[in-house]
A and B are shown apart, each in its own frame.
Chain A
Amino acid sequence: MSAVLTAIVALFLIGPVLLSALAGVTANWFLGASAGLTLAWVVKVWDLYAHTIGLSLWLALCCLVCTLLLGVPAAYALARTPSRLARLLEELLTLPVAVPGIATALGLILVWGAVGDFRIHWTFLLIGHVLFTLPFMLRAVLAALRGAELEVLEEAARACGANFRQRFLGVVLPNIRGGILAGALMVTALSIGEFNMTLLLSTPHTMTLPVGLADSYASMRLEVGSAFTLVFLVLLVPPLVAMQALSERLGR
């Protein structure tokens, strides 16, 4: 019985993805796959929405750099401070995940929307993405820092005479690289797909891939939407697969 239910759930989760991929390369979905296969829709998507793809990839890259620079040192400081204050700060830093994205976006617009041209600059989106993804980086790195016998290793490095910089670069970072990589992949995938916050934050000048997707679903043929979805999945799936492969390797 469990096996049957698992199969049904799998079909429910995987079926629509295959359906969408098929629709994206079908000449006329209404007539069915018999109408022939074509890449015309993908080309059309490229013409219409290439800029959204470019912006999303650029945002994801910048977001990754920011979360690495902000998240890794913060996680290290939190992991090494066994106080109530540190616990509280950790709670606080992971709060943006629990607050609905649209509320955060509204607040950002209220406070910062009228400051110069910030509202129509891509960095406005970046702020939102970093807020939302930082908790995931933080958690992944914290988990790695708290696992492993890192504190003992660090003490061993101190006993060998290593200063803080040498310890952090030579002992800490190499031993938590699995956690950092897992966090990085998660951040990339989440940034590429972020919509709840981005819908309000984006402007006609700053349209990301998911917002473009929503636009195509609302105003284009079904085949165009499918083709765009296909392009999106081709971008999103590699980091996700890498993440799974990594977590399996770390799990063993």
Chain B
Amino acid sequence: MARRSESAGPFLLRAALLAPALVLLLAFFLLPLAKLAMLGFEGQGYWAAITAPRSLRALRDTVLLSAAVSFSAVALAAVVGHFLARRRFPGRRLLVAMLTLPMAFPGVVVGFLVILLAGRQGLVGSVTEALFGERLVFAYSFAGLFAGYLYFSLPRCIATIMAAAEALDPALEEAARSLGARRWRVVRDVILPGLAPALVASGAICFATAMGALGTAFTLATDTSVLPMLIYTEFTLATNLGVAASLSVLLGATTWVVLALARGASGSLAANA
């Protein structure tokens, strides 16, 4: 240990290298968050704001949506990621590139893509009209939000899980088979335990991102109000800073708790694996 810190130069130098980033963090992140929390907790406003039926409904819907999306995205990505990690076929690299490309698409754009897909002039509508004589439009409902959230969650999950599947020793699967395990036994006994830390980790990131996502809901302007959207309207339309602050604290705390739980779970999974 002593050898390590020696090679890094004097303590003061390292402190100097870290200081600018820490100052930025302190002034523009920690201080604002503290102020936000204080404002949120002030008086009876906090409790009133988060127990208002509208807030509770938004919280419930946001958590439900995020959980459903995380679960679906991880399940789909597990199959796709493992498939892409194990198989070699022409065009594979291009496919991987295209599957992970939407990773950095902002939520607004994703919302718009959902409108093109399932909106009033969308592709799904045209196809269903041609087939059944009735336009199927679900962009502005809970299903539309779900589709949008799934869209921006999948690429990241696929990338993470594919990397984990590539790191999984194929000999383990062969060993299980050589001992007589059929396809589903191999999945249950070798692949899922091997991927478990990555599944939990990507599910958690997915959940946190979905909880905080604003763009998709903003574009779709759905009937279902998600928490970030409620915060936005409280702040801009009602200029109700206290309520917006309280709801932000609620949103942040919920997200943080889930992330912490997932980290604990993935830590113990990794220790077992």
Are A and B close enough to touch in the complex, i.e. CB under 8 Å? Answer: yes
Residues of chain A with a CB closer than 8 A to B82's CB: 2
Once the chains bind, are A100 and B24 in contact (CB under 8 Å)?
A: no
**Which residue in A16, A103, A214, A236 is a CB contact (below 8 Å) of B116?**
A16
The A-contacting residues of B in range 3-44, CB under 8 angstroms, are: 4-5, 7-9, 13-15, 17-18, 20-22, 24-25, 28-33, 35-36, 39
Is B255 interfacial (CB 8 A cutoff)? yes
Once the chains bind, are B17 and A74 in contact (CB under 8 Å)?
A: yes
Is A127 interfacial (CB 8 A cutoff)? yes
**Which residue in B21, B36, B241 is a CB contact (below 8 Å) of A134?**
B21
Known interface pairs A71-B21, A80-B7; A16-B29 also in contact (CB < 8 Å): no
Residues of chain A with a CB closer than 8 A to B211's CB: 100
**Which residue in A16, A110, A214, A218 is a CB contact (below 8 Å) of B113?**
A16
Is B71 interfacial (CB 8 A cutoff)? no
- In the assembled complex, 17 residue pairs joining A and B whose CB atoms fall closer than 8 Å, in A order, are A74-B20, A80-B4, A82-B1, A82-B5, A93-B25, A103-B252, A106-B235, A110-B245, A127-B24, A131-B25, A131-B28, A164-B13, A189-B104, A195-B215, A214-B108, A218-B219, A236-B105
Once the chains bind, are B108 and A9 in contact (CB under 8 Å)?
A: no
Is A35 interfacial (CB 8 A cutoff)? no
Is B49 interfacial (CB 8 A cutoff)? no
- B contacts, CB < 8 Å to A: 1, 4-5, 7-9, 13-15, 17-18, 20-22, 24-25, 28-33, 35-36, 39, 76, 79-80, 82-84, 87, 93, 95, 97-109, 111-117, 121, 123, 150-151, 154-155, 158, 208, 211-215, 218-219, 221, 228, 231-232, 235-236, 241, 244-245, 248-249, 251-252, 255-256, 259
Is A250 interfacial (CB 8 A cutoff)? no
Bound complex: CA of A82 vs CA of B5, how far in Å?
7
**Which residue in B93, B151, B219, B255 is a CB contact (below 8 Å) of A13?**
B151
User: Which of A47-55, A176-184, A224-232 contacts its partner?
Assistant: A224-232
